[in-house]
Chain A
Amino acid sequence: MINLFHSRDLLREWTSRNIRARYQQSVLGWFWAIIQPTAQVAIYTIVFTMVVRIDTENIPYVIFSYIAMVPWTLLATSLTDMSNSLVDNMTLVNKIYFPREILPIAALLARLMDFGVAALLIIVLMAIYKVSVFPLGLLFLPVILLIQLFLILGIGLATAAANVFIRDIRSIIVLGLQLWFYASPIIYPVSAVPENLRPYYYLNPMNGIIEAYRDVLLRSHLPGSYLVPAAVISVVLFIVGYWFFKRVEFQFADIV
């Protein structure tokens, strides 16, 4: 971590490299950050308001799902990028020394930019649907985001390192994200989950995180105790993931 502070210039360069490389020769550029979650929300809105009706506690479905889709997209895209960040740059890892965690962390930061852009639409949607703003809740936003970042960093660092040794990780991430998507209350409310399963349900830290975003932004009340397991699990995953990464980082170059 001290290393990381010394390498902040590199972190910035590498993050901007990721962003620029992604949008180079792309006509829509930054708009993709909004298009992706919006398109998905559009599909689910059609399905769940016209085909199968789903009860979202008087919250319009569009904003109900978009507010979860944006943090989910951050998690899904950054985990995909992070897990490939070392493998895709093996020539560099094999040739030059620099703090290895720069690569996955820069991949996350680049996606965080997309998240910021996509989040702007939340403000627009809140204005359109006249959702009342809950100032005390806004103070919680950075805390919720921080918990989510710990979660992403923990899993992302571990999978980035593991992917160097076992390429199956790449496929496992894709599959795992699909399952995780349906195991999280993104397109349906938590109330749709059977009562007796709820305690286990909150073992998925993404549930606590998404519920917290909804409580604070849409329901005008503070996050409940469900955020505690999410925070604890995320921080533990971060510590384990980072420890694993540091433990194996000098073996990266030995794997050809």
Chain B
Amino acid sequence: MKRVISFENVSKKYKLGIARTSLPSLVAQGVKKAFRPSAVKAPGNDVLWALKDVSFDLEKGQSMALVGSNGAGKTTTLKLLANITKPTSGRIETSGKLSALIELGAGFHPDLTGRENIYLNGSILGLKRHEIHGRFEEIVEFSELGRFIDTPVKRYSSGMIVRLGFAVASCIEPEILLVDEVLAVGDASFRQKSLKRIQSLIHAGTSILFVSHNLYMVQAVCQKALYLKKGQVQLWDDTKKVIEAYEHDLHAERASKFAGSALDLGGTETGLEITKVEILGVNGERPERFMSNQPAQIRVHYNAYQDMGRVSMSIFVIRSDGLTCFMLRTKLDKFNLVVERGVGTVLVDLEPLQLITGTYFIEAWFLDEADSIGLTPMGGRSDWFTVKGSARSYEESSGVYEPIGRWSHQHSDMIAANESQSKTTPPVSVESRQAE
């Protein structure tokens, strides 16, 4: 297999603080130095290693993901690959035409029309004029801009700009495509369309390097993944293993953050604090894995230091990539919640749970009666919990939840029956109900 990217022991150092040097500050520093030499840090000593000794390679037609929290070095890696910046040490080789979907619409000029910007943006991305000309119709069609193509881009909505940016950047048919979080924007149908476009590029042999916080998308597209942590390689393996490790770390990190702040919830200020949020299975115990088709119960424990009167509660169920799957609100459900001094628990039964395979957590908030002002300084948060849906793997399921579907099937042997006929003779109905 031909190698399209090879990244060998790459390190990238950034100097911090040096860009802020100005004459007044230099003078101030000089004066300070004269009096108290020890108090002054030498400028340029603040160094950040955005990447340290990172190696990986990618073969033609293969796709990989880059995961890691903010500041892990994902963007730096992309910039190095895109030749925007040079490494401090190490070697980077790429072969073939490279295109980056990094910031869609970055090259657009607001005063120029969509048409003019297609030519401009296309040429920035390295296309010849005649090449853009040949793809012009395709770009317009994909961006769904139609009659707005001769309108200045400054009058476009942000969604239109992103669509146009994606359409131009993806029409290049590069050998390597860098995708940075761009698919997080745009509406759902455009996201689907973009994902399809990316998948068709993969089929055509394009190698893709994907940066996304959306682990679901990453799993759908990439075979391998690189997990970066503070500029260093944490794991370089199959996507599935990497995501498991990454999710595990995320979980631990968030849990420790929450545990730390839960201590100083400052409940005394408002007189109310959430002490624990948990989700339990059928028998009142916490199972290893929740089943999608089984009931579950959310419990929110609280301490009230004074009588609060009528309050409302909002509960969010959030997937590991940050998507809020659903929310439950006492106000909407017209549940009358009165909290008096003491200790209590609010319970919600979910029958059944209905979530698909994945990792989730729960956040609960107390709000005032009007459901507008938070009563606790921060929400209570549950531990992560995993759900086992009916599908065996991520690839088999998509969407957010699994309602219980009752299947049926109607059939008629008359093709193109005219209206009067179909009114008088209803089609034969074959119905089969499948109980859970």
Interface residues in chain A, defined as those with a beta carbon under 8 Å from any beta carbon in chain B? 7, 9-10, 12-14, 17, 20-21, 24-25, 91-98, 165, 250-251, 253-256
Interface of B is mostly: loop
Q: Is the CB of B111 within 8 A of A95?
A: no
Total chain B interface residues with beta-carbon distance under 8 A: 27
Q: Does B116 sit within 8 A of A, measured CB to CB? A: yes
Interface residues in chain B, defined as those with a beta carbon under 8 Å from any beta carbon in chain A? 14, 19, 79, 82-86, 100, 102-103, 106-107, 109, 111-112, 116, 119-120, 123-129, 152
> For B119, what are the chain A residues with a Cβ–Cβ distance below 8 Å?
13
Instruction: Report Cα–Cα, A165/B111, bound state, in Å.
Output: 28
> For B107, what are the chain A residues with a Cβ–Cβ distance below 8 Å?
92, 96
Q: Is the CB of B120 within 8 A of A96?
A: no
Interface of A is mostly: helix
With CB as the reference atom, state the residue of chain A lying closest to B98: A97
Q: Is the CB of B84 within 8 A of A20?
A: no
Q: Is the CB of A253 within 8 A of B125?
A: no
Residue in B14, B84, B111, B128 whose CB lies within 8 Å of A96: B84
**In the complex, what's the smallest C-beta–C-beta distance from B122 to chain A, in angstroms?**
8
A10/B124 contact (C-beta < 8 A), A20-B112, A92-B107 known = yes
With CB as the reference atom, state the residue of chain B lying closest to A100: B84
Residue in B112, B116, B123 whose CB lies within 8 Å of A10: B123
Q: Is the CB of B86 within 8 A of A250?
A: yes
Instruction: Report Cα–Cα, A7/B123, bound state, in Å.
Output: 8
Q: Is the CB of B106 within 8 A of A21?
A: no
With CB as the reference atom, state the residue of chain A lying closest to B50: A254
Instruction: Report Cα–Cα, A189/B123, bound state, in Å.
Output: 46
Residue in B84, B109, B126, B129 whose CB lies within 8 Å of A94: B84
Q: Is the CB of B106 within 8 A of A255?
A: no
> For B152, what are the chain A residues with a Cβ–Cβ distance below 8 Å?
24
> For B106, what are the chain A residues with a Cβ–Cβ distance below 8 Å?
91-92, 95-96
Q: Is the CB of B111 within 8 A of A25?
A: yes
Q: Is the CB of A20 within 8 A of B111?
A: yes
Chain A to chain B contacts (Cβ below 8 Å), 9 pairs: A9-B123, A17-B109, A20-B116, A21-B111, A92-B106, A96-B82, A251-B85, A253-B84, A255-B19
Q: Is the CB of A98 within 8 A of B14?
A: no
**In the complex, what's the smallest C-beta–C-beta distance from B329 to chain A, in angstroms?**
40
Q: Is the CB of A13 within 8 A of B103?
A: no
Instruction: Report Cα–Cα, A25/B119, bound state, in Å.
Output: 21
Q: Is the CB of B14 within 8 A of A254?
A: yes
Q: Is the CB of B102 within 8 A of A96?
A: yes
> For A96, what are the chain B residues with a Cβ–Cβ distance below 8 Å?
82, 84, 100, 102, 106-107, 124-125
> For B109, what are the chain A residues with a Cβ–Cβ distance below 8 Å?
17, 21
